[in-house]
C-alpha cells in the first residue's frame, strides 16, 4: 500500500447512503431497536427468575441457602466480567458476530442448568451464562447509537434502559407461578425458550450496524473489484499495534475508576442502586413468604409496582429529553455536563422514600399494600437515576465514555452479586424494619452525590489528570 496518507482513497458513507444504518427506514430501525431491547429484557429476566424457588433447588441438592444464592451471584459477576472482553471485540469483529456467538453459547449452557444433577454443575453453567449474556447487554447501547442520530435517540434509549430494570422485576412474577406449578427446573426451561427466540431474531433478522465494519467490507469489495489497494477506511489508517489497543481497552476503565472522582462516586452510587435491586429478590420472599405466609406466585405479584415504576419512568423520557434540548438552546449548543444532573437531583429522593415505606409497613400483621406499593417510587427512581448517571458520565468523558461506562458496569455488577449473599442474614438479624431502614439511609446518603457534582463537577474535570495527559491512557 502507498506510504503517504495523501495517496489513500478514503471509503466513507455518502449523504443518503442506504448502507448507513442511520439512513435505514424508521420502521426497520424500530424493529431492530425492539429486537435488541427485548433481548436485553430477556437477559435481565434470566438473572432474577430463579429467585422464585431457590428453596426448592437447595432442598433437592441438600445445600444451604447461601450456596443456592451463588447461582445468582456468579451470574451477576459474569455481567461485570464480560463487557471488559466483548466491548473491544465488537469494535474489531462487529456487533452481529458477537451477538450471535455469545447468545448461542448462552442458550447451550442453559440446558445443563435445567437438567443439573448437582449444585456444582448449576453454578458453573450459570457463570458461563452470565458472561455470555453480558455481551448483548454491553452492545445494545452501541447498536442504538449506530441506528439513531443524536436528536432521535431519546425514546429508543428509554426503551433500552428500561429493560435491565423491567426484566428483573418481571422475573419473580413469572417465576413464582411457574415454580409453584412445575418446579424449579422450569425456571431454566423458560430461560431456554426465551433466549432461543431472541437468538434466532437477532442472528437472522438484524444485520451488522457498526459503521466501521460495514465500511471495511465495502473497502475490501472495492479493492477486489478495482485491484487498487489504496481504498481504505479510517480504521485502516490506525497503525497502533494490537497490544497497545488492548492495553487501552483493558486498563483505561480502571484508570478512570480510581483516578477520576466523578467516575468513582457515580459508579458507587449506581452500585448501591444495583445492589438494592438484587436485595429485593431476597428480601421480598422473606417479608411476604416467611412473614405473611404467601406462596411464591403471590409474592411475585408484589414486584408489579416496581415494574410499573420503571415503565412510568421510561414514559417520562421524552419530557426529560425536551428539557435537555431547551438547555442545549440556552447554552448555544454546548450545555455543561451538569445539566444532566437536574433529573437526578429531583428523583434521588424517591428510592430512600420507598425504602422507608417498605421498612415500616413490612410487619407481618400489617396488610400487604404498604410494602407492595413501596416498590413504585423505588422503580421510578431507579431508572431516572440510571439514565441521568449514564448521560452525565458520557458528557463528562466523551472520548473515554465507553471505558467509563465499562468501569461503572464492572463495579456495579460485583457489588450487586455480593449483596445477594448477605441480604438474608441481614434481614434475619436486624429484622425487616431495621434492615430496610439501613438501606434507606444508605440511599439517602447517596443523594448528596449529584448535588456535589452540580456545584463542583466542572472544577473537578478541570483538575482531571485525564484531561491533562490523555496519552497516558
| Same domain flag for 53 and 179 | yes
Mean pLDDT, residues 65-83 taken together:
87
| Same domain flag for 465 and 421 | yes
Q: Residue 416's pLDDT is what? A: 83
What CATH number did the domain enclosing 86 receive? 1.20.1250.20
| Same domain flag for 315 and 402 | yes
Residue 1 counted as domain residue: no
441 band by pLDDT with thresholds 50, 70 and 90: very high
Residue 244 counted as domain residue: no
Residue 243 counted as domain residue: no
Q: Residue 236's pLDDT is what? A: 64
| Same domain flag for 170 and 23 | yes
| Same domain flag for 207 and 352 | no
Mean pLDDT, residues 215-232 taken together:
75
DSSP 145-192: HHHS-GGG-HHHHHHHHHHHHHHHHHHHHHHHHHHHHH-TTHHHHHHH
| Same domain flag for 421 and 291 | yes
Q: Residue 221's pLDDT is what? A: 77
**Is pLDDT above 80 for 73?**
yes
Mean pLDDT, residues 73-94 taken together:
82
Cell of 284: 421480598
Which of 225, 240, 258 finishes a domain?
225
Between 224 and 454, whose confidence is greater? Answer: 454
Residue 347 counted as domain residue: yes
| Same domain flag for 291 and 149 | no
Q: Residue 190's pLDDT is what? A: 94
Residues 359-376 have pLDDT tens digits of 999 888 889 999 999 999
Q: Is the pTM of this model over 0.85?
A: no
Residues 301-315 have pLDDT tens digits of 898 999 899 889 888
| Same domain flag for 174 and 215 | yes
Show the domain range for 118: 12-225
* Candidate from 37-51, 177-191, 398-412 with smallest mean pLDDT: 398-412
Q: Residue 27's pLDDT is what? A: 93
**Is pLDDT above 80 for 472?**
no
| Same domain flag for 64 and 31 | yes
* Candidate from 41-45, 95-99, 196-200, 418-422 with smallest mean pLDDT: 418-422
Decide: helix, strand or coil at residue 232: strand
d(CA 112, CA 125): 7
Radius of gyration (Cα) for the chain, nearest Å?
Answer: 23
Q: Residue 136's pLDDT is what? A: 84
Between 296 and 62, whose confidence is greater? Answer: 62
Residue with cell 428539557: 323
| Same domain flag for 296 and 216 | no
In whole angstroms, what separates CA 257 from the centre of its chain?
17
What CATH number did the domain enclosing 303 receive? 1.20.1250
Closest of 164, 191, 162 to residue 50, by C-alpha = 191
Q: Residue 120's pLDDT is what? A: 92
| Average confidence score pLDDT of the chain | 84
Between 463 and 240, whose confidence is greater? Answer: 463
Residues 384-417 have pLDDT tens digits of 898 888 888 877 876 566 677 777 878 888 888 8
Residue 230 counted as domain residue: no
| Same domain flag for 209 and 305 | no
| Same domain flag for 265 and 199 | no
Residue 56 counted as domain residue: yes
1 band by pLDDT with thresholds 50, 70 and 90: very low
Residue 240 counted as domain residue: no
Which of 190, 225, 260 finishes a domain?
225
Residues 116, 167 contacting (CB under 8 angstroms): no
Residue 452 counted as domain residue: yes
192 band by pLDDT with thresholds 50, 70 and 90: very high
Residue with cell 461485570: 80
What total of structural domains would you count in the chain?
2
d(CA 348, CA 343): 8
Amino acid at each position: 500500500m502507498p506510504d503517504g496518507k495523501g495517496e489513500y482513497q478514503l471509503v466513507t458513507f455518502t449523504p443518503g447512503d442506504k448502507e448507513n444504518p442511520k439512513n435505514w427506514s424508521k420502521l426497520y430501525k424500530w424493529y431492530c431497536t425492539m429486537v435488541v431491547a427485548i433481548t436485553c429484557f430477556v437477559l435481565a429476566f434470566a438473572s432474577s427468575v430463579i429467585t422464585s424457588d431457590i428453596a426448592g433447588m437447595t432442598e433437592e441438592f441438600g445445600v444451604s441457602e447461601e450456596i443456592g444464592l451463588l447461582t445468582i451471584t456468579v451470574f451477576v459477576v459474569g455481567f461485570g466480567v464480560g463487557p471488559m472482553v466483548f466491548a473491544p471485540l465488537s469494535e474489531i469483529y462487529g456487533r452481529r458476530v458477537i451477538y450471535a456467538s455469545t447468545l448461542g453459547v448462552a442458550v447451550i449452557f442453559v440446558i445443563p442448568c435445567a437438567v443439573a444433577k448437582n449444585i456444582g454443575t448449576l453454578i458453573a453453567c450459570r457463570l458461563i451464562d452470565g458472561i455470555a449474556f453480558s455481551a448483548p447487554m454491553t452492545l445494545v447501547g452501541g447498536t442504538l447509537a449506530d441506528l439513531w442520530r443524536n436528536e432521535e435517540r431519546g425514546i429508543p434509549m428509554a426503551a433500552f434502559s428500561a429493560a435491565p430494570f423491567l426484566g428483573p422485576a418481571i422475573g419473580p412474577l413469572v417465576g413464582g407461578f411457574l415454580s409453584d406449578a412445575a418446579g424449579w427446573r422450569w425456571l431454566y426451561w423458560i430461560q431456554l425458550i426465551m433466549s432461543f427466540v431472541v437468538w434466532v431474531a437477532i442472528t437472522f433478522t438484524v444485520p451488522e450496524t457498526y459503521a466501521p465494519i460495514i465500511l471495511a467490507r465495502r473497502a475490501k469489495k472495492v479493492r477486489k473489484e478495482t485491484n487498487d489497494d489504496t481504498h481504505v477506511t479510517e480504521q485502516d489508517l490506525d497503525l497502533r499495534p494490537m497490544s497497545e489497543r488492548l492495553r487501552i481497552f483493558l486498563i483505561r476503565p480502571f484508570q478512570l475508576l480510581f483516578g477520576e472522582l466523578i467516575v468513582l462516586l457515580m459508579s458507587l452510587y449506581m452500585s448501591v442502586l444495583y445492589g438494592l435491586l438484587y436485595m429485593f429478590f431476597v428480601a421480598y420472599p422473606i417479608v411476604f413468604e416467611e412473614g405473611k405466609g404467601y406462596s411464591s406466585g403471590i409474592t411475585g405479584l408484589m414486584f408489579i409496582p416496581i415494574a410499573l415504576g420503571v415503565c412510568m419512568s421510561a414514559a417520562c423520557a421524552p419530557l426529560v429529553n425536551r428539557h435537555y434540548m431547551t438547555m442545549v438552546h440556552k447554552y448555544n449548543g454546548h450545555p455543561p455536563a451538569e445539566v444532566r444532573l437536574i433529573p437526578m437531583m429531583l428523583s434521588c429522593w424517591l428510592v430512600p422514600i420507598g425504602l422507608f415505606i417498605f421498612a415500616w409497613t413490612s410487619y407481618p400483621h400489617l396488610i400487604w399494600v404498604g410494602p407492595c406499593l413501596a416498590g413504585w417510587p423505588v422503580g421510578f427512581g431507579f431508572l431516572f437515576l440510571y439514565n441521568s448517571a449514564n448521560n452525565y458520565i458520557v458528557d463528562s468523558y466523551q472520548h473515554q465514555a465507553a471505558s467509563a461506562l465499562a468501569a461503572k458496569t464492572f463495579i456495579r455488577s460485583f457489588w450487586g452479586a455480593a449483596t445477594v449473599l448477605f441480604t438474608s442474614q441481614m434481614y434475619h438479624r436486624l429484622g425487616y424494619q431495621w434492615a430496610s431502614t439501613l438501606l434507606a439511609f444508605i440511599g439517602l446518603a447517596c443523594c448528596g452525590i449529584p448535588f456535589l457534582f452540580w456545584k463542583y463537577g466542572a472544577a473537578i474535570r478541570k483538575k482531571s489528570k485525564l484531561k491533562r495527559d490523555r496519552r497516558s491512557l
